Amino acid sequence: MDFFTLDIRKKVFTVRVVRHCNRLPIAVLDTPTRPHSSGRSQQRAREAREGPEPQRRDLIDRAFSKFRHKDVVHLSRLKGGLNVLELWHGVTYAFKDLSLSCTGQFLQYFLEKKQKHITVLVGTSGDTGSSAIESVRGQKNVDIFVLLPKGLCTQIQELQMTTVIEDNVHVFVVHGNSDEIDEPIKELFADVDFARRNNLMSLNSVNWSRIMVQIAHYFYAYFQCASTLDSTPLPVVEIVVPTGGGGNVTAGCIAQKMGLPIQLVAAVNSNDIIHRTVKDGDFSLSGRVKATLASAMDIQEPYNVERILWLLSGSDSHLTKTLMEQFTVSKSLKLPEGLHRKVSETLRSCSASDEDIVQAMQRCWEENHYLLCPHSAVAAHYHYSHLDSCASGTPRCCLAPASAAKFQDAVLRAGLVPEIPPEITALKAMETRSTVLQRGEDWAQVLRDRITAVEQWWGKRGAGLPPPGLQGVNGQA
């Protein structure tokens, strides 16, 4: 166990970095106890922090047991100061396996203890769906409903979802884009009675556990890339974060708030609302979602920006609520000058076109014989565009959210040869199961009916009834 002591607002905080079995560290913030806290609240805080240690270790072991790299996360040090933190060694070859594998284990542990059932509702633009499915597949206390946009994920991403033939997995292929499929999900969660009656929850990055686990990425990246931990003040490490919905960069902002000396860069594709927010304070839609090579980042409404605004406004809930309500109505928002200044001080940003992505993939291969996925290439584009600042001595770490193996079309577009693992090749021969939602259908009502049927079956499971036949096998219902 390592200790990293930080002086934040004249209080000493200690980040315990637990290197469990020499794997990915989990960062835990120990806060100083307030003198006026009651003994009972101190005890509760201590119990919450410490938890059942043997069970926690076992859950983390299970979560990471299927990762292909012995260290779970690996840093590749390439030419020209390009450090690529590979976060994609999980089952689905995407960084979301890291947080969701932990979340799935935590969920099952507490649901079994409480003998409860939950329904998970997820919208995906690519990688979230397959990682969420993998985290809960076969779990008896969880049913998961995933909506994916037809034709806007790669074939591999879609197959990673539709080939999971488990009774608790329900996949919907929707004729809509990634923002449109969020609408029925929002509608169901807004129906408080329905959500409570059916124990609805989400595994999108709106779920705090996702953000909590992702905070550890930044401490790991820092310890791997910092030139020294013996100087005062500690050196800064620049971390470039490919982002769409803003969840991962939100985790970075929290790590920064905890005192970790990092400079964050939000790197986006042509769907550049986060870039415009950082650069100009312009949190506004710009037409329809654009289909890009970095498809998992094809998002126009990054809901985690609300969290970032709250963090940087000094936890001003009233201001944040007012701003987000304005955006919801008009889809256009100009940040107040003071808040924009704080955002631009906290974050740098860049936007990469498909041409930029291809050029970064090509250059990385030519210089290193290293294949980048198109999302990782968005971060590499920033690196190649800012080599001068890297040469000045500030280490830079580019987060790699997915393996290039999942994006063969992008690799071919760059004139490179895909490296395809056997697990991915096997997907094309597997049976599939999904339900198609056409334009004009009431998507929210279809989901209501299916979720209600599952919940009713779960309540009568003792009667020996088979699970409801919600989907077609070997094709689409």
Place of tokens 């071919």: 412
Q: Is the dihedral of CA 101, 104, 108, 114 positive or negative?
A: positive
Q: Which long-range contacts (CB under 8 A, 24 or more apart) does 388-394 make?
A: 389/238, 390/80, 390/81, 390/238, 391/81, 393/227, 394/235, 394/236, 394/237, 394/238, 394/263
| Radius of gyration for the alpha carbons in the chain, expressed in angstroms and rounded | 22
CA torsion, ordered 30, 35, 36, 39, to nearest 10 deg: 70
140 flagged as catalytic? no
Q: Is the dihedral of CA 403, 404, 406, 407 positive or negative?
A: positive
Please give the helix or strand (H or E) that residue 465 lies within, else none. Answer: none
The span from the CA of 104 to the CA of 90, in Å, is 14
User: 77 — phi, psi (to 5°)?
Assistant: -95, 110
Q: 274: which residues sit within 8 A by CB, 6+ positions away?
A: 243, 246, 249, 266, 268, 302, 305, 349
Taking CA 272 as the corner, what is the angle to CA 268 and CA 273, rounded to the nearest 5 degrees? 120
Q: Are 69 and 103 in contact (CB under 8 A)?
A: no
Q: How many helices (H) and strands (E) does the chain have?
A: 19, 16
Residue 429: count of CB within 10 angstroms of its CB? 7
**Residue in 96, 290, 331, 406 annotated catalytic:** 96
Positions marked active-site: 96
